[in-house]
Every structure is written in C-alpha cells, then in structure tokens.
Chains A and B, each alone.
Chain A
Amino acid sequence: MRPASVAITLLLVTGCSPYIYKTEINEFSNGVNELSSAYNAGLKSSGSERQERQRRQWTKKRARIALTEGCVLQASGGPDNVSACALREVGKAPPAPSRIETQAIPAAPIIKALRDYADALAAVTNAEDQQTLEAAQAQFKNSIQDLAKQRDPALPASLGPVADVFSATMTAALNARRYEILRDGVTAANAPVAELGGALGEALDAIRTARANELRLLADDLSAELGPAFGSTDYLSQLNLIEGKVNSLEALRHSEPGQAARDMVKAHEELALALKDDRRQVQAVIASVRAFVDKAKAVREAFAG
C-alpha cells in the first residue's frame, strides 16, 4: 500500500468520527454538581442560621437547657432515626427545622438521579477509554510487526500502515458507537431531565426562601437589640455581624436558582438537538452549557456564603 493511499484512507476513516461533545458534557456534569452542592449548602446554612438564632434567644433569657431523647443511641444496629440528638429548652419542644427544609429533603433523590445521569454521560465520553484504546492500538501494532518479523524481516514495514488503518477504523467505529449511545441516551432523557429540572428549580427556590427567612429573622433580632446601651466596641462588633447577614441576604437576592435549573434543561435540550441532527450546533451547546454552569456556580456561592 502506498503511503499516499494510506494517508487518504486514514483521513477518510477518521473524518467519519462524530464529535462527541466531551468537553461540553463534562461541563454539564460540573454544573449539575454545582447545583447539588448548592442544595446541600443551602440546607446546611439555613439550619446553621436557625441554630444561631436559637442560641441567642436562649442566651438572652438564660434559658434552662436539656438534651433530647435522640442523644440516647440504640445499643446495636445502624443509624438511629428516632430523633436528632440536640439541645432543647426545658419544658418546650425541641427546635424543629422549617417546613421548607423538611419538605426539601425529598428532592435529594432528584439531585442524585441527575448527578448519576451526568456522570454516566461523562463516562461514555471518558478520555481514559480513548487513551487506553490508543495505548492498546500502539501495542497491537508493535506486536503484529514483531510477529511478522519472525517470518520476513522486510514485512513489518509494509504491515505498519495496515495496522494504522485498522486502528483508525476501530477508533472511528468505537466513536460512532459512542456517539450513538450518547444520542439515544440524551434524546430519551430530554423529557425526564426537563421534568426533574423544573422540580429541582422549585426545590432550590424554596431553599432560597427558607434561608432568606432565617437570615432575615436573625438579622432582625440582632438589629432590635442594638442601641445606645451598647459600648462602641460591642456596637461595632454586632453591626459587623448584622452586615454579614445582610450581605448574605443580598447575595441570595441576586441568585437565580430556578433560572439555573431552567438553564440546565436548556443546555440539555441544546445537546440533544445537536446530537440528534448532524449539523453539529457546537456553538449553541457551548453557549448554553456555559450559561448554565455560571449560573449554577453563582447559586452555590450564594447558598454557601
């Protein structure tokens, strides 16, 4: 086989490899992880602010405190789900999480499902598989050439291009299969992702409200205490504390968790469209994935801050 014809064959074979949106899919997966972190951070921060407010109320009235029954652990077995181990004011019910926080817990399976799905997409486009394949192909070529050398020392030189064509064909075939798996998976997932994205957006919006409620109540309590009775150092210290809460509220006000979830759905739709029709709308996919990731990151920062 002439080198020119080998080069043309290689070009034709590799030219058939479809674009598999590896970078965009990894970015999409990162965005989903950001939303997942935002969900966890939002719930955690909301709980912390409620706890802080409770501590201040108890301290203010020098309340008598006791442990809840959840602090008595079962002697054997796994985690105990009777009740949390916490502090309570004597004669009063233990402090309960807000209704929103309780209601947001069932959203965890949605986040897990979306993360698993995004991870699976990333696994299909996995770069390591490609590297393993390339290493295996190089090794295969060497082995074939060594084997041929046993028979005729001149044979390996002509077998090299044949092995290259074989490798390129195999890569193209595997990438075509990879593309097919992605296209079918993403197309089928479009409707469920849209539905779950909507639900996730509602959950994140609700968590934003829950955290804003806790922050506002805490900042309001702190503001009500502040007055002429405070020495200048204490006044400044309390003022800093209030300003910190207000800054967190302001960051929450600018965050758009519902929109971030909608952007996730849009990015997924663009990906599905690009995979479905072979016009390779890479720019639309890149733009929508970037918008989604940026917004998801902003939400995570606002929820954690």
Chain B
Amino acid sequence: MVEWGAFGFGVVLGWFMYFTNRYRKGDVQFSDLTTLVGVIGGGAITALFGEAKTALFGAYGAGLAVGFFAYFIVLLVMVNRSNGVFTVTWFLDGRRKRLADDEEIPGETRPTVAPMAVQLGGPQQTTGAPAVPARSPLAAAVEERDRAITATVDALRELMREIGDTTDDARRSRLREAHGQLTQKLDELVALRLKDVLDSERVRSALAKLSVITADLVAGAQEMKTAADTLATAAKMIDRATKAIGFLGTIFA
C-alpha cells in the first residue's frame, strides 16, 4: 500500500513535469527548476521512511517515469484522434494545418513548446509555419536609428577624406556644405537616442528610488552624528555635576 502511494506521488510529479516543460515560455528559465526541485524533493522524502526507503524510492521513480510518459502517450492518442488536423510532424517541428474559416484559437490559450524544443509562435499563429520571435516596432525603429547613426558617422568620415583630397574649390565647397548638413543630421539622431534614454520610465523610476535611498543615508549619517554629540553632552553634564559636587563638598566640609 505504501509503495502504491509513492508510485502515485511519482505519477503526479512526472505528469506535472511534462506539463511544465510543454508550457514553459521558450528557453528554460530559473522558475522551471522548481519542478526539478519538486522531483528531487519527492525522492528525498522517501528517504525518511527508515527500512522501507529503498522500496519507496523505487516505486516513486517508476511512478515518475509512468507519469512523464503517460502525458506524452495521451498527447499521441489525441493527435491520432484529431482527424488529421495534427500529425506526428507536430512533435518534430510544430507543423499543423491552417485554421478553417469557422475556427479560431482564443488569444488567452497558452502557447506550447513542442517536444523537440521548437518554439511555436502561440495562438496567433494560424499559418502553421514555425514562428520567428516577433520584434516590436519600437525595437525595430531603435535599431534603425542606431544603424543610421553609424552610417552617418561613416559618411562624415568619407566626406572629410574627400574634402582633404580634392583640389577643386567648387567641389570642396559642395562637400563642406554636405558636411554641415550631415553633422546636423548626426546631431538630430544622437539627440533622439538621448531623449529615448532620458525620458524612459526606467530612468524616472531609478531616480525616484535613489532619492529615497539617499534620504535614508542622510538620516543614517545624522544618526551617527547624534550618537557622538550625545556622548559629548553626557560628558559635559558629568563634568558639571563633578564641579557641583566638589563645590558643595567644600561648603559642607
């Protein structure tokens, strides 16, 4: 009976392990390790049961394997019964059929990670093609701007070289004009990049946090000063008390 309990416990953890792997968000993350910790923890628990620990660990391990592969077998059965919508190729590279006109995948459906570790694009992917992680328009614009800065600097260097090489005054004048215009363009692009950084929410939030920390440190510094001042005051008071006692001693002597 006890072995069956350990076996059942292993089955549940094995099932959950596969489930977590299937729905993890792309690359393995630190949080995924919690499953592993759970699995190891399960094995460790069986060690607490004295003489029976070897048998319990065996049952637990068998249960773990059964649970893990049972999940996969259930997936295989479901793919087999999907009337051709999914085939075993889904297990290889996530390939699937397009959605029919009257079908949809709700936006809140969790994206899965295929057993062969190809990352699928999630519910919005209806073409069946493996997804390439989408770049946000903002990130694309930022990259474009940074490329433009590099290209402008390169063009300016080329212009300087040309200005230095040409002996034709008219051409030199045109090149110098272009130099002025490109310098202005570089100024605009760099200013744009700086604006993005300085106006960001992250910088604002960091400024606010640092102000609070600074205020705490200032209070701490004051605390240090107060401690020294308090001792100085105490010393003065004892000094005065000593003088008063000496004075009174002289009077009553």
Mark A residues whose CB is within 8 Å of B.
Answer: 98-100, 102-104, 106-107, 109-110, 113-114, 116-117, 120-121, 123-124, 126, 129-130, 132-133, 135-137, 139-140, 142-144, 146-147, 150, 170, 174, 177-178, 181, 184-185, 188-189, 191-193, 195-196, 198-199, 202-203, 206, 209-210, 213, 216-217, 220, 224
Nearest chain A residue, comparing its CB with the CB of B229: A132
Total cross-chain contacts (CB, 8 A): 174
B203: which of A130, A199, A220 is its contact (CB, 8 Å)? A199
What residues of A have a CB within 8 angstroms of the CB of B160 in the complex? Answer: 216
Q: Which one of B210, B217, B236 lies within 8 Å of A139 (CB-CB)?
A: B236
| B140 interface contact, C-beta 8 A | no
Q: Is the interface of B mostly helix, strand, loop or mixed?
A: helix
Kindly list the 6 A-B residue pairs having the minimum CB-CB distance in the complex, ordered from nearest: A99-B191, A181-B220, A120-B217, A195-B206, A136-B232, A123-B221
Which residue of A100, A140, A184 contacts B187 across the interface (Cβ within 8 Å)?
A: A100
Contact between chains at A192 and B207 (CB < 8 Å): yes
Let me know if B249 is at the binding interface, CB within 8 A.
Answer: yes
Q: Which residues of A contact B187 (CB under 8 A)?
A: 98-100, 209-210, 213
User: Given the interface contacts A139-B235, A143-B239, A146-B239, does A192 sit within 8 Å of B195 by beta carbon?
Assistant: no
Binary contact readout B150-180 vs A (1 if CB under 8 angstroms, 0 otherwise)? 0000000000100100000000100010011
Residues of B within 8 A of A206 (CB): 190-191, 193-194
Identify 19 residue pairs between A and B in the complex whose beta-carbon atoms are under 8 Å apart, listed by A's number: A99-B188, A99-B190, A102-B191, A116-B211, A120-B214, A123-B221, A129-B221, A133-B228, A136-B232, A143-B238, A146-B242, A170-B231, A174-B228, A188-B213, A189-B213, A199-B197, A209-B190, A213-B183, A220-B179
Q: Cβ of B207 and Cβ of A126 under 8 Å apart?
A: no
B50 to chain A, nearest CB (A): 39
Main secondary structure of the interface of A (DSSP, over half): helix
Say which size band chain B's interface belongs to.
35 or more
Contact A110 B239 (CB under 8 A): no
A205 and B205 alpha carbons, distance in the complex (Å): 22
Given the known inter-chain contacts A100-B194, A103-B198, please indicate yes or no for A195 contacting B203, CB distance below 8 A. Answer: yes
Q: Which of A99, A144, A191 contacts B238 (CB 8 A)?
A: A144
| A4 → chain B closest CB, angstroms | 27
B33 proximal to A (CB < 8 A): no
Contact A133 B227 (CB under 8 A): yes
**Residues of chain B contacted by A116 (CB below 8 angstroms):** 211, 214
B133 at the A interface (CB under 8 A): no
